[in-house]
A = this chain, B = another copy of it.
Amino acid sequence: MADLEETLIIIDADAESARHLKEHLDSQGFYVEIFSTLAEFTPKLEDLSPDLVIGDLPTGELSTVARLVAPMRPRPPLIVMSQDVSSGHILSALRAGAAGFVAKPMIDTIDIDHSISRLMERVRLSRENQQYRLELEQANKSLKAGLEELQADHRAGRQIQMKMLPEHNLEFSNITFDHCIKPSLYLSGDFFDYFPVSDTQVAFYFADVSGHGASSAFVTVLLKNLTNRLQRNLRRHSSDDVLYPDRFLARVNTEILETDMGKHLTMFAGIIDTESRTLTYSVGAHFPMPILSVNGHSRYLEGKGPPVGLFDDPKFPLYKEHLAPGFSLVVCSDGLLEVINAKSLAEKEECLLETVQSASHTIASLEKAFRLDWVTELPDDIAIVSILESAV
């Protein structure tokens, strides 16, 4: 049964024969229009957009029709009707572009029905393909637009996050702080900050919020805000929590629990005192531990502590470490372990230590040593903070 939308054209000077054929095709559900000459049909071609053309035409006009319909998609096939059934005429009709040939007068409609059904099958398949393609193109366009909208949103959020990070190459006495951050999505769950808290003391912390993306980025905003407040409190002498890494972690713990976001984080918080040459620090389940390097020898810092924002009253022990001249400290998120090619976690840790030991400890050389420029699809956020004392 034909699709009601399908348009068949008959071009035949013999009005009686054309009318008979039209009646037959009408009854099959086709929309049929008759033209007695090609000249009549030509101007109507585009409006009618036929699916198939049946014509009793001389070979020259047949070629013209074939040329006219060639750009149409689907291209309508041509069926030639003719009283001349000599093989020469049939072959020249085929050469001219005919896809079917029916002898006139039509004794019955078997031949034309067979030709139409064979050719319409191709037309329908082609139309279905075209429809499917259009749908795909449309879906593509709308997916692309949706993706771009969300990406723009993430980029805006990321800009704000980047603004909250400290400046690059900040110097305190002879110590230079620098960092890099590579979020796996646009928004990062890795966060850190460093700032002087007295003439001889610099505070810093490194946080890795569970998960990544928008929800983890929320927590980093809170961290930045809390740190600002604690610094302000210190200036106002209303609280000196920021001078004590263990109390600092406890404060973060309280605020995260109170905001009730269902998020926790791992942290490392430290104070470097350039006068006493000590590093005082607390660990909130941070992993891997920071790497301390002196005179070309590197090792992980000792220490442990519970994650932050998970328990009601966690205890964060305080650790102290002597800092030899020309020391360096490299703090990174566990995302870095994921791009290190080793089998076990222990091997990855070992490889991380070796790579840090063999590199100089500027961010540029660490990025190069870990080939971070080459990493594109990051499984997790990666952040590195480098704390480097220049030789005096």
Q: Residues of A with Cβ closer than 8 Å to B?
A: 85-87, 90-91, 94-95, 97, 99-101, 103, 111, 114-115, 118, 129, 132-133, 136-137, 139-140, 143-144, 146-147, 149-151, 153-154, 156-157, 159-160, 163-164, 185, 187, 211-215, 217-218, 221-222, 224-225, 228, 232, 255, 258-263
- B160:A255 contact, CB within 8 angstroms: no
Contact of A149 among B111, B185, B211 (CB under 8 A): B185
Tell me the complex Cα distance, A323–B40, Å. Answer: 82
Closest chain B residue, CB of each to CB of A146:
B147
Q: Which residues from B are CB-within-8-Å of A164?
A: 259-261
What would 16 more interface pairs be, CB under 8 Å, given A153-B213, A159-B215?
A86-B87, A90-B101, A91-B103, A147-B147, A149-B185, A150-B151, A153-B154, A153-B214, A156-B215, A157-B214, A160-B218, A218-B218, A218-B221, A221-B222, A222-B222, A232-B258
Closest chain B residue, CB of each to CB of A114:
B95
State the oligomeric state as a number of copies: 2
Q: Which residues from B are CB-within-8-Å of A163?
A: 260-262
- B221:A160 contact, CB within 8 angstroms: no
- Please indicate which of the listed interface residues A101, A185, A213 has the most CB atoms of chain B within 10 Å of its own CB: A213
Tell me the complex Cα distance, A222–B147, Å. Answer: 27
Tell me the complex Cα distance, A255–B221, Å. Answer: 12
Contact of A154 among B94, B100, B115, B150 (CB under 8 A): B150
- B147:A143 contact, CB within 8 angstroms: yes
Given known contacts A221-B222, A259-B221, A91 and B90 CB-to-CB distance under 8 angstroms: yes
Q: Which residues from B are CB-within-8-Å of A213?
A: 153-154, 156-157
- A101:B91 contact, CB within 8 angstroms: yes
Q: Which residues from B are CB-within-8-Å of A94?
A: 100-101, 115
Tell me the complex Cα distance, A232–B118, Å. Answer: 82
- B85:A154 contact, CB within 8 angstroms: no
Tell me the complex Cα distance, A339–B86, Å. Answer: 72
Q: Which residues from B are CB-within-8-Å of A90?
A: 87, 90-91, 101
Q: Which residues from B are CB-within-8-Å of A151?
A: 150
CB distance from A211 to the nearest CB of B (A): 7
Tell me the complex Cα distance, A149–B225, Å. Answer: 28
Tell me the complex Cα distance, A100–B90, Å. Answer: 11
